[in-house]
A and B are shown apart, each in its own frame.
Chain A
Amino acid sequence: MANNPEHYYVPEKSRMPVLMALAMATTGAGAALYLNTLGSEDPSAWLLILGVLGIIFVMVSWFNVVIQENHAELANAQVKQSFVMGMAWFIFSEVMFFFAFFFALFYIRLFSVDWLGNEGSKPGHDLLWPGFVSEWPLMQNPDPEAFPGPAETIPWYGIPTVNTLLLLSSSWTIHVAHQKLMEDKRKDFQNWMALTLGLGVIFLILQGYEYVHAYTDLGLTLKSGIYGTTFFLLTGFHGLHVTIGAIMLTIVLLRGYAGHFTPTDHFGLQAASWYWHFVDVVWLFLYLVVYIL
């Protein structure tokens, strides 16, 4: 029987994965083509756009099929367990992705900037960059002509602290939403989910405002040496993940309105919730090592 709970559901052949592979390859080639022609007269973005549209299209239909299969009760408890474990280990791989960027920040702050300023056991840099003084935040780069340093940096108080409170409370609200669903209070579940999404969106708006402020008023850009580099890459990469998380929350919210999820069966919500907690924890580390320390 198709929905025999004794049997692990192995889906029939599917055209989605190979289409996804094609879309991902198109996106990769398209992004490279776009970046390589960016400085020229006519940058060529069509391949990139095509690829991204392809990815979105395949993702929507793929998730649609999985949701339908779940509603048809094809997925038994063991299959659902596979999804849960898959999501957990995917988040672990994301942790390692962030780990590499934090590693870069620590290496630069603890070792290499000091070495450039001739501290420690590595003399000789004064021949290359005479007069360079190591400090953090690094306001004056070794070669100020090629990399003019920032005029100011963003202090920890103000927007970063507000953002910390926003994300922390959104982690709490999604937890409440989850509990409301388990108590089968659908209306409450939807409201708490909407609140979570709202907090996430406000976070992104504030972060965007902060970036504009940094670029226009503070002279803090990607090009302003290693401080701007690490600042924007760590916060920007985190912001990208918040965006992905917010998309997940939106889908969960819409599915909630459509009557999906039951008190015992809500993998989509659980996955989005885990992901949201994960970006929250990453932010706490960012707040500490990028803004405060």
Chain B
Amino acid sequence: MTQQTAAASTATAGAPAQGGAAAHHDDHHDHGPAKGLTRWLYTTNHKDIGTLYLLLTLVLFFIGGLFAMVIRAELFTPGLQFVEPNFFNQMTTLHGLVMVFGVAMPGFVGMANWQIPMMIGAPDMALPRLNNLSFWILPFAFLLLLSTTFMEGGGVNFGWTFYAPLSTTYAPDSVTFFIFAIHIMGASSIMGSINIIVTILNMRAPGMTLMKMPLFVWSWLITAYLLLLAMPVLAAVVTMMLMDIHFGTSFFNAAGGGDPVLFQHVFWFFGHPEVYILILPAFGIISEVLPTFSRKPLFGYASMVYAMASIAILSVLVWAHHMFTVGMPLAGELFFMLATMVIAVPTGVKIFNWVATMFKGSLTFETPMLFSIAFVVLFTCGGLSGLMLAIAPADFQYHDTYFVVAHFHYVLVPGVIFGMYAGAYYWLPKWFGFMYDETLGKLHFWLSFVSVNVLFFPQHFVGLAGMPRRIPDYALQFADYNMISSLGAFAFGLSQVIFLVVLMKLKSGAKATDKVWDEPQGLEWTLPSPPPYHSFTTPPKVEQ
């Protein structure tokens, strides 16, 4: 791969001020970022928008985390302690919605914004103004969602899966605001994924064939397709809710010939691809980080691509494994059970390849590597409990217990969140030009790693013993494990503050070199740290 030429950064595609298109036809100033607030409000720059996404993610991560702390405080001992049951329900609902739609999704979109143009040698995202819109409607959507808490009749309290009729017949009035908030988030995701698909398919540097793309880019191409497939279905299901609530239709009402189970089918047709939307970009990040710190190329690049694509295809065929207990015909139970188990095969390929990448490598254990190794181990734990849940007859016992909570938190916290941290520590020096504090980073990792297990591992046991999820009170025999779990939660929550300290101290860190790490692969490392405002105005040539 060639160096990006110095000429590229000066001969920018100087664009005229918007509106007066023809007026400033030939000015070619080297425009850096504008000053002040309008830089962030009006920006069309992928790096600025990436930063905005990541900032929003950080804010919502702490808000959603606060909700989780309320939940764990309430569950610290049996009996009702601090909050009303209805408020507890609002906390579980908002915690789930904020973490899924406000942290996991925009966090990776932010990284995609920063990384994809740099990784494929493009000047920016393909549709820069649309990119700005995709971001800026998100804060509004979350304001709308969170404001329901203060509305008459209380906020949304029907769980993040908002099953009908809890979310229709028995919902508080604020559900209408929730519906439109979801619509807006969906529009943001659809616009964002169209942008990512077009960027990847249309903007690659000459010579970068699809099978030469970095795996993070591959993971996002597949994720963006899943988003295009799943988000409209989510929009459809909330539209049906809206019709049932306000226009007298009977989609989810058996009295009119509808079926509440229809809600679950449509919701999970969105919801299951959604969980892969959350994890696939993390797969991509881990596949970037492990080779760098193993000083070996990734083992089995092509099989990684095919494995991700297979996971994506399978993910749209398995939705009803979330609903084994609603009374499906036996053929349905069998199909969804077997199809779900098949996903273990491509996932196994990925775990094998990651381990094989590290095998006999000269490993070093910087913070991104630590988060990545923990990801591989703990995500596998979460995957295995997922296999247990996939067994339909066993799921009749596990359904709606804390075992399910433990399972999906193992794939979401040490999975998605650790993947995100791995990416953040890996690319922060590239993005902002300063090394983070390695000691603090390691402290952040070790405290998070220990506390996340203290937090979620005991939940397997109480779940298998029959403790139901989403209930503010529980039977006495679950008391010890719940207390341990809550202590782990408080420790995990506090550990995340260390990341804030890391960020605040970033500017006093050492200057990062262009390559940052030993021998990282990829076009982004050929740019200076921090990269120029417009990275590849002239596309670099990728060697054959």
Chain A positions within 8 Å of B, measured between CB atoms, are: 1-4, 6-18, 20-22, 24-25, 28-29, 31-32, 35-36, 38, 62, 65, 68-69, 71-72, 74, 78, 81-83, 85-86, 89-90, 92-94, 96-97, 99-101, 103-104, 107-108, 111-113, 115-116, 120-122, 128-129, 138, 141-143, 146-147, 221-223, 225-229, 232-233
Contact = CB atoms under 8 A, between A and B. Distances in A.
Contacts of B253: 147
A89 B14 contact: no
Contacts of B133: 17-18, 20-21
26 contacts: A2-B15, A10-B44, A11-B18, A13-B43, A13-B44, A14-B18, A14-B132, A24-B137, A25-B137, A31-B176, A72-B25, A74-B16, A85-B201, A86-B195, A86-B198, A93-B232, A94-B232, A96-B228, A103-B269, A116-B254, A128-B254, A129-B254, A146-B256, A223-B247, A229-B256, A233-B240
A110 to B, nearest CB: 11
Contact of A28 (B44, B180, B243): B180
A11 B257 contact: no
A25 B144 contact: yes
Given A28-B177, A82-B203, 15 more contacts: A2-B16, A11-B128, A13-B38, A21-B133, A28-B141, A72-B25, A86-B194, A92-B228, A93-B190, A93-B194, A104-B251, A129-B254, A142-B255, A142-B256, A221-B248
A94 B231 CA distance: 10
Nearest to A136: B257
B439 interface: no
B133 to A, nearest CB: 4
Given A93-B232, A107-B262, A82 B202 contact: yes
Given A8-B13, A120-B329, A104 B262 contact: yes
B187 interface: yes
A225 B34 contact: no
Nearest to A76: B13
Contact of A2 (B26, B43, B235): B26
Given A112-B258, A122-B327, A1 B14 contact: yes
Instruction: List the 4 closest pairs (A to B, CB-CB), nearest first.
Output: A100-B236, A25-B140, A226-B257, A28-B180
Interface residues of B, number: 94
A27 to B, nearest CB: 8
A107 B265 contact: yes
B6 interface: no
Contact of A6 (B19, B38, B194, B538): B538
Contacts of A223: 247-249
Given A12-B15, A86-B126, A121-B329, A226 B258 contact: yes
B257 A141 contact: yes
Interface string B254-279: 11111101100110010000000000
Contact of B256 (A71, A111, A121, A226): A226
B27 interface: yes
Interface in B220-247: 228-233, 235-237, 240, 242-243, 246-247
Contacts of B124: 8, 10
Contacts of B330: 121
Interface of B: 12-19, 21-22, 24-28, 31, 34, 38-39, 41-45, 122-124, 126-130, 132-133, 136-137, 140-141, 143-144, 173, 176-177, 179-181, 183-184, 187, 190, 193-195, 197-198, 201-203, 228-233, 235-237, 240, 242-243, 246-251, 253-259, 261-262, 265-266, 269, 327, 329-330, 534, 537-538
Given A18-B132, A141-B256, A229 B18 contact: no
A222 B21 contact: no
Contacts of B180: 28-29, 31-32
A28 B184 contact: yes
Given A96-B228, A104-B262, A141-B257, A15 B249 contact: no
A14 B251 CA distance: 42
Contacts of A18: 41-42, 132-133, 136
Contacts of A113: 257
B305 to A, nearest CB: 20
Nearest to B49: A17
Contacts of A221: 248
Contacts of A90: 190, 194
Contacts of A20: 133, 137
Given A28-B183, A92-B228, A222-B243, A85 B258 contact: no
Contacts of B181: 28
B87 to A, nearest CB: 21
Contacts of B243: 222, 229, 233
Contacts of A96: 228-233
Contact of A17 (B129, B141, B256): B129
B249 A108 contact: no
Contacts of A6: 538
Nearest to B231: A93
A121 B248 CA distance: 30
Nearest to B329: A121
Contacts of A82: 126-127, 198, 202-203
A31 B127 CA distance: 29
Contacts of A147: 250, 253, 255-257
Contacts of A25: 137, 140-141, 143-144, 184
Given A86-B198, A112-B262, A225-B250, A10 B128 contact: yes
Nearest to B138: A21
A246 B223 CA distance: 33
Nearest to B8: A7
Given A3-B25, A35-B246, A8 B203 contact: yes
Nearest to A29: B144
A180 B193 CA distance: 35
A8 B14 CA distance: 10
A97 B269 CA distance: 12
Nearest to A38: B246
Contacts of A74: 15-16, 21
B201 A12 contact: no
B255 A100 contact: no
Given A104-B251, A112-B259, A12 B18 contact: yes
A172 B440 CA distance: 66
B16 A229 contact: no
A23 to B, nearest CB: 10
A36 B176 contact: yes
A17 B130 contact: yes
A14 B534 CA distance: 16
Contact of B16 (A12, A16, A104, A115): A12
A224 to B, nearest CB: 8
